[in-house]
A and B are shown apart, each in its own frame.
Chain A
Amino acid sequence: MPMTSLERVLAALSGKPHGRPPFTMTLSLYGAKLTGCPLPEYYRNPEKYARGQEAVVELCDPDILFGPFALSLEAEAFGSEIKFLPLNPPNVRKPVIGSPKEFMAIEPPDINLHPGLLYLRESIGLLSRKYKGQRPICGVLTAPVDLPAIIMGLDMWIETLLFHEQTAVDILNRTSRHFSGLANALFSDGADFIALATVFTNPAILYPQLINTIILPALERSFQEVKGPLVFHHGGNPMVPFLKDYLNLPNVAAFAVDHRDSLTAARGILGPKRLLLGNLNGPTLSRLRLEKVLDKVDRILADRQDDPCFIFATSAADVPWDTPRGVITAIAEKIRSAEGAA
């Protein structure tokens, strides 16, 4: 009997043989294309989202499905105005606050009442009920250290971190509680793990001393409260040079690295047993020729052919709306035909 997706992912998690590497692609948005669902409905109606993900399963049968990848909905829950776009997930229109201290005046959203957060939770619930025991479901949340940037704007968050340290710590305490609360709610709703892209952990964005004294301690406190496994995602910058700094964060079961990162180098830092995900550049799939895409897939598979703790995944944002379906199915077929780690 062939393994189910769940068995394959669990095998990768424990380093056991799994025939071929498990794979997933960030097809949260793409489900709307497959079902012809207008995005303002897709990102508001959990049933329409779940239907889109069922269409993703029919298209390419990935081993992991994603909950809605719509980080702006969390900012909306904190009072931000969002804008729906025709071919992309909704985006935050503009910051709702004028100064860092105003952040503390915002009433944190109730994860059991706010419609946008309930949408995230119910989408996970529907997917979990449909695929429980067969296919892992991954919730996607904003890292507590990045949520302030979405709510107040990148410049104000940098300003706060650089020049208003205590305010930054206060804000992070608040977003950390939000993160752990919502993550635990998603686990209760059926998520098998939670992925979070982390931008402000990277020295390409912030001074290392601030990462060490403010950012990582905040993540540590927040992750400690989470009752399930986390996938630590690169957040748009190469992560391997700094990977060792994140190894001891609690409850992090896996690391998803950037397409520019070396998987071999990542494995060297993680050791043989930690789960590693990567690293096909998803947002480029709409404009690359198929043979070039498959060549990249081949190289990744060859690089990780003896790695039992590897999951093939697209990195970065959603696979674009205008990606031909044939590209996605060809990637899936290529991986299915691969020899897995023994």
Chain B
Amino acid sequence: MDLKTSRKKLLEFIFSGNRKEAIELLDGWSALYQYRSAITDVLEPVLGDIGELWASEKISLAAGYLAGKIAEDTLLKAHQREEILPETKGPVVIGNVEDDYHSLGRKLVGIFLRTAGWKIIDLGNDVPASDFVDSAVDNGARIVGVSAMMFTTAQNIIKIRQEIDTRGFSGRIRLAVGGAVFKIRPELVAEVGGEGTAVNAVETPGLMEQLWRSVDAHDLP
């Protein structure tokens, strides 16, 4: 199967919820060209298509989840075969804001960023504001990505904004925000002090590129 057909088939499998066939396709490609190629040549372009379909609400959250599981599975196999994909970008600190336990979005963001070559420091759920900034400083991250599903917990992102500002990292650590509530209420991004968001997890690598470039390297913490 050629590259174009493989991508088309993979998209169809994800679109129809067929995990087994999708993984078999990627395994088959890897047997010929290694997992590195399966990820960069087959999976990544398909994830781009998935991102667009998801943004235009043509596929479900479950399909986005399935895409994430397939990417995770393929990354894992690459690591098991010691085909280490270089983490050429980042690091980025991610986590769910204080009081938020809805981890699905954050996990998908982590998977899609790793697939795109980003180094991720995942702090998990219910993360205090100071921990985000401490981790960014300790690891030299230019971006913290914060997830909140509901309006109530999204309000806690304001504490991270304040933490960044009062410690003198404004413009040096960028604050990316995401979660279902920001889709419903886009104006909330600015209200909580966010500097960018993505319409879904698949689109996050593009957002991170943009935010990363916006920080002057001389100003890093």
Give residues in A with beta carbon < 8 Å to B.
83, 85, 87-88, 91-95, 153-155, 158-159, 161-163, 203-207, 209-210, 236, 283-284, 317, 320
Contact = CB atoms under 8 A, between A and B. Distances in A.
Contacts of B17: 162, 207, 209-210
In the A-B complex, the 5 residue pairs with the closest CB atoms: A155-B104, A88-B152, A94-B101, A207-B17, A154-B104
A225 B65 CA distance: 33
Q: Which of B17, B63, B151, B180 has the most CB of A within 10 A?
A: B17
Interface string B83-117: 00000000000000001011110010000000000
Contact of B152 (A91, A204, A205): A91
A54 B125 CA distance: 38
A163 B153 CA distance: 30
Contacts of B69: 159
A132 B36 CA distance: 68
A155 B65 contact: yes
Given A207-B17, A209-B17, A283-B151, A154 B66 contact: no
B99 A91 contact: yes
A158 B125 CA distance: 19
B61 interface: yes
Contacts of A320: 151
B60 interface: yes
A68 B69 CA distance: 37
B62 A210 contact: yes
A147 B212 CA distance: 39
B150 interface: yes
A163 B152 contact: no
Given A88-B151, A94-B125, 12 more contacts: A85-B99, A153-B101, A153-B103, A155-B104, A158-B65, A163-B19, A205-B60, A206-B61, A206-B62, A210-B62, A284-B185, A317-B151
Interface in B23-70: 57, 60-63, 65-66, 69
For chain B, give the interface size range: 20 to 34
A94 B104 CA distance: 12
Nearest to B63: A207
Contact of A158 (B104, B153, B184): B104
Nearest to B152: A88
Contacts of B152: 85, 87-88, 91
B102 A154 contact: yes
Contacts of A205: 60-62
Nearest to A238: B57
A93 B107 contact: no
A204 B19 contact: no
Interface string B109-130: 0000000000000000110000
Interface in B196-217: none
17 contacts: A85-B99, A88-B152, A91-B153, A93-B101, A94-B125, A94-B126, A95-B101, A153-B102, A153-B103, A155-B65, A162-B19, A204-B57, A205-B60, A206-B61, A207-B16, A207-B62, A236-B184
A76 to B, nearest CB: 14
A179 B184 CA distance: 28
Contacts of B184: 236
A236 B61 CA distance: 13
A203 B62 CA distance: 9
Contacts of B107: 155
A92 B153 CA distance: 12
Contact of A161 (B57, B62, B126, B180): B62
A210 B66 CA distance: 14
